[in-house]
Structure 1
Amino acid sequence: MPEKPVKPLQRRWEALPACQDSAAFDFSVMTYNILSQELLQDNAYLYRHCNPSVLPWEYRLPNLLAEIQQYNADIVCLQEVQEDHYENQIKPALQALGYQCEYKRRTGRKPDGCAVIFKASRLSLLSSNPIEFFRPGDALLDRDNVGLVVLLQPNDTAAPSDPSAFICVANTHLLYNPRRGDVKLAQLAILLAEIKRLSRLPDGSTCPVLLCGDFNSTPWSPLYSFLTTGCLEYQGLQIGMVSGQENSPRGQRLLTSPIWSHGLGINSRCEYKPTAESSSSSPTAVEGAISNLTVEDVANKAAAAKRARIEHGLKLQSSYQHRLAPDGRPEITTCHSRTAMTVDYILYTPDVTPPPSLPGGRGLQLLGRLSLVDQSAVEEVNGLPNQHHSSDHLPLLARFRLGR
């Protein structure tokens, strides 16, 4: 039986007040989990509500490409991009639209990965850094999720030699399993450490950061709060509560301290630990630190280790409110037969004017975003995917200003 015709979801542009800056670089960013065809087929029970005619790749691909072209973003972060479809269809189609494409497939024998694409006319690639979360022999980091971090420079920058006129863009798809918040936090620590390394400027400050992707975590969950506040006190926190995907998770296992192994080389501030090689470059400083260490210092270090706290130094903010005006209904970014919630984000470092004595401070100003919808709106269009929307996720789109 043919599917009853439905209208596309109604999404409107929400403009935000902005400061005038004639020298600014304005650009748009989209993040979109496009639903790998193999994963769709492997999890067919999630799509029983769909008319079978809207599920084949031959039907979905033109819709997905048309959506990307319609929104015309300067930077696009895609997740669940199947490698064969990427190489044979998606990449050539996007290159024909003027995009440059970077891609990282998941490890193991997984068929899909993450892509960061950007308009070559507007931005230039300075570096592309694929990240694998899998660590051989590490019982916690035994999953095949990946990330991709790129450094981009605006082409029309008024000061091409300005080292802070960069944008660090990170894209990831964290582990889905709602009961493994420990794995998600360890994966995030690796990603944040790499972002910190790549975004650090010569004066010690950081260039603007965009962190996009499917985090398989809900707004105001402990993982989301960690991202947006820079700190998580996790003493007594159940592993199944970290992501907020389940209201009453099965199992009572608590996060242990430390969450990840010291052997990972990442400290509790989600930064790479100095290597012996880099430490030896200033032996007097190291020797001085050791000789001045008191019993009280050692005790304080031990207490800090027991405090069960992780931090990161990025001042990240979400480009969405996560609730719809005027009544606070939850926004959703994904919906299938099992769930409807927000798990996709465009996070950014906002423009903060620092005191004159501090370096850096350049960030991004949010100019607007494409509105999201609530669960009832999706149900009215036969759920996701449907004849107009060919993924079980919705694309997020935001516009930013990089000041000069």
Structure 2
Amino acid sequence: MFLRQLSSVATSLQPQHLAVYRLGLICFTPVLPSPSRLLAPTRTSPRRLSTSTGVMTEHSDHEPPYKRMRTAEEKRSVKYGDANRGGGQKSNQGGGRSESRSRDANRPGKGPSRDVQRGHAPSRRCGFEPEQSAADEDMLGGRPRSFLSHPANSSEPPPPGVESAVNQAPLLGRETLLHRCWEVSPACSAMAPPRGGDRAFDFSVMSYNILSQELLHANSYLYRHCSAAALAWSHRLPNLLAELSKYDADVLCLQEVQQDHFENQIRPALQARGYECVYKKRTGKKPDGCAVAFKTSRLRLLSSNPVEFFRPGDALLDRDNVGLVILLQPNDAAASAGFVCVANTHVLYNPRRGDVKLAQLAILLAEISLSSRPPNGSRNPVVLCGDFNSTPYSPLVAFLTTGHLQYQNLPIGMVSGQEYGSRGQRLLENPIWSPTLGINRQCQYESTCTSAASSPACATVERGISHLSVEDVAKRATADRAAANNALKSWSLEHDLPLRSSYPPRLMPDGRAAITTCHSRCAMMVDYILYTPRESLPGGRGLQLLGRLSLVGQPELEQVGGLPNLRHSSDHLPLLARFRWLIADHS
């Protein structure tokens, strides 16, 4: 009918109009429905179309996750409670009951990292070849193995950062895997061979916030961009175990480990892989905590010290965050060869309670200092891992890596760098914590001498006190307390643990901000592996960074739909570093 009408119109057209008529006929004829299509039932499409002049585009019913995330991050701060994330029951100061999260992805005025400026950026080994040298295998922490069984005819598993087809099979979805490379430190090529009587012990350390399932449900608004399938524990657990197995680290430092999942699933799986596990649950009602696992085939446990930051009756230290400090020694090392002190923690999240974060770290540093220095006065290397809920350029991280913090006139909400604006925030008080805590401004316990046999220095002090009268001892104790109070009032904090970050805050070669956590309201770096550099201890007994698993920037995370997703089952990325430690060989 329609075509016959067009034909009748064509007979009345002038010759100069025929070209326009033919063009219209060509454009409209293909879209005319056939009789069979007119009779067929219509289907409701899950996607809708919107048209404009000359353009037809397709839109989904929901905005893409990365656009929603970007819209939220453009706001200066988004306020919400911290009771369920990163610890803490309440917030009576600074931020009241509300907080804010904001991006620290690209801080203005910040240039490339020191590693970049000094030309010490590690080389990137992204294009892994099937053939690898023995040095490459050693650098990557050995051949990674998987909890998932491989087919009999499969080749050897790929090195860290490369996903195998076996691991991909159960994780297929619209998200793709993040491409992470192994970055080799340039110091490896210039590293001198061990001296006579010394030998090199290489080991790898992973730090990973695996996202507690109960915290995921309690903070579900952070994960609205995720599919329900990606958030189910039945899907997340195999992913997490496969990830831990693939990277095959000698030491695992895990945060947000839910207690029931640890006891019933995670610990049995790790034990089957040859790990021994140490766990510390948070002191409050939250079900998660910190765990450290190490390979018994390579390391033995000398001691384990759980650390609680909660102090009853202390208005500042009323949060339930915890930490772990353990001492590890190579299996084939002599007892006198020393040890590595490994610490793991998850610091309070609340961006506006920098005073609580500093006090928690002071307790942890005091425990590390006490544990890493035996009575003979020797010093041993330290590896400090965890989710510090602080950005790389923040005063808190600078305090850890420089050993000094001047905090006079420092707003309480600027300590962690999670927020930019400090208007209306109170300043840090002096002293930050009460002298009754027993920790001085050097982040050491005031009284560490328990007996005259504990150290020569303590014995000297006790011999001097034994010749004093009771009145003299009381006067000295009063003077010592006054000196401690004055020291705490100097508006500065210090610690003498030489610590360096395994990861620079910016990516090479373009200087984009490195990201370790990403969800619908923030994308920033808050996870760290700090270590004692080799040159900072006598005789070069510190640690040499050999390599690390690269981080990514925000664009890469937007391409995979943010975190978590079907392939990556936490809102944090795992950090992995490999170290060399020179130990005395007494075999």
* TM-score of the pair, normalised by structure 2: 0.64
Q: Which residue of 2 aligns with 1:376?
A: 555
* Alpha-carbon distance between aligned partners in 1 of 2:406 and 2:308, rounded to the nearest angstrom: 26
Say if 1:4 and 1:72 are closer, same or farther in 2 by CA, change over 3 A. closer
Once the two structures are superposed, residues 25-47 of structure 1 have per-residue CA deviations (whole angstroms, 9 ceiling, x without a partner) of 00000000000000000000000
Q: Which residue of 2 aligns with 1:323?
A: 506
Residue 161 (structure 1) aligned with residue 330 (structure 2) = no
User: By how many angstroms is 1:327 displaced?
Assistant: 1.8
* Alpha-carbon distance between aligned partners in 2 of 1:285 and 1:10, rounded to the nearest angstrom: 63
Q: Within 5 Å, which residues of 2 pair with 1:61-210?
A: 61-157=237-333, 160-164=334-338, 166-210=339-383
Q: Which residue of 2 aligns with 1:391?
A: 570
* Alpha-carbon distance between aligned partners in 2 of 1:37 and 1:255, rounded to the nearest angstrom: 34
Residue 334 (structure 1) aligned with residue 517 (structure 2) = yes
Instruction: Report if aligned partners of 1:329, 1:374 keep a CA contact under 8 Å in 2.
Output: yes
Instruction: Report if aligned partners of 1:163, 1:201 keep a CA contact under 8 Å in 2.
Output: no
Q: Which residue of 2 aligns with 1:258?
A: 431
Structure whose CA Rg is larger: 2
Q: Secondary structure at the match of 2:389?
A: coil
Q: Secondary structure at the match of 2:529?
A: strand
Once the two structures are superposed, residues 294-322 of structure 1 have per-residue CA deviations (whole angstroms, 9 ceiling, x without a partner) of xxx99987764432111001000000011
2:210 maps to a residue whose letter is I
Instruction: Report if aligned partners of 2:383, 2:530 keep a CA contact under 8 Å in 1.
Output: yes
Once the two structures are superposed, residues 144-166 of structure 1 have per-residue CA deviations (whole angstroms, 9 ceiling, x without a partner) of 00000100001133xx13242x0
User: By how many angstroms is 1:287 displaced?
Assistant: 8.2
Q: Which residue of 2 aligns with 1:400?
A: 579
* TM-score of the pair, normalised by structure 1: 0.92
Instruction: Report if aligned partners of 2:440, 2:487 keep a CA contact under 8 Å in 1.
Output: no
Q: Secondary structure at the match of 1:386?
A: coil
Q: Which residue of 1 aligns with 2:542?
A: 363
* Alpha-carbon distance between aligned partners in 2 of 1:185 and 1:401, rounded to the nearest angstrom: 30
* Alpha-carbon distance between aligned partners in 1 of 2:572 and 2:243, rounded to the nearest angstrom: 13
1:370 maps to a residue whose letter is L
Say if 1:385 and 1:200 are closer, same or farther in 2 by CA, change over 3 A. same
Residue 30 (structure 1) aligned with residue 199 (structure 2) = no
User: By how many angstroms is 1:7 displaced?
Assistant: 1.8
Q: Secondary structure at the match of 1:260?
A: coil
Residue 8 (structure 1) aligned with residue 177 (structure 2) = yes
Say if 1:353 and 1:239 are closer, same or farther in 2 by CA, change over 3 A. closer
User: By how many angstroms is 1:129 displaced?
Assistant: 0.6
Say if 1:269 and 1:325 are closer, same or farther in 2 by CA, change over 3 A. same
Once the two structures are superposed, residues 331-372 of structure 1 have per-residue CA deviations (whole angstroms, 9 ceiling, x without a partner) of 000000010000000000000166xxxx56511000000000
Residue 59 (structure 1) aligned with residue 248 (structure 2) = no
* Alpha-carbon distance between aligned partners in 2 of 1:339 and 1:273, rounded to the nearest angstrom: 39
* Alpha-carbon distance between aligned partners in 2 of 1:67 and 1:261, rounded to the nearest angstrom: 43
Q: Which residue of 2 aligns with 1:344?
A: 527
2:346 maps to a residue whose letter is H
User: By how many angstroms is 1:247 displaced?
Assistant: 1.2
> How many residue pairs are counted as aligned between the two chains?
395
Higher helix share: 2
Say if 1:13 and 1:377 are closer, same or farther in 2 by CA, change over 3 A. same
User: By how many angstroms is 1:252 displaced?
Assistant: 1.7
1:265 maps to a residue whose letter is G
Q: Secondary structure at the match of 2:246?
A: helix
Instruction: Report if aligned partners of 1:179, 1:249 keep a CA contact under 8 Å in 2.
Output: no
Instruction: Report if aligned partners of 2:173, 2:566 keep a CA contact under 8 Å in 1.
Output: no
Q: Within 5 Å, which residues of 2 pair with 1:284-323?
A: 284-286=463-465, 304-323=487-506
Instruction: Report if aligned partners of 1:206, 1:360 keep a CA contact under 8 Å in 2.
Output: no
1:185 maps to a residue whose letter is L
* Alpha-carbon distance between aligned partners in 2 of 1:278 and 1:102, rounded to the nearest angstrom: 29
Q: Which residue of 2 aligns with 1:240?
A: 413
Q: Secondary structure at the match of 2:364?
A: helix
Q: Percent identity?
A: 65
Residue 231 (structure 1) aligned with residue 414 (structure 2) = no
* Alpha-carbon distance between aligned partners in 2 of 1:336 and 1:51, rounded to the nearest angstrom: 13
Once the two structures are superposed, residues 118-148 of structure 1 have per-residue CA deviations (whole angstroms, 9 ceiling, x without a partner) of 0010000001110110000000000000000
Q: Secondary structure at the match of 2:535?
A: coil
1:72 maps to a residue whose letter is D
**What root-mean-square deviation, in Å, do the aligned CA atoms of Structure 1 and Structure 2 show?**
2.5
Instruction: Report if aligned partners of 2:440, 2:484 keep a CA contact under 8 Å in 1.
Output: no
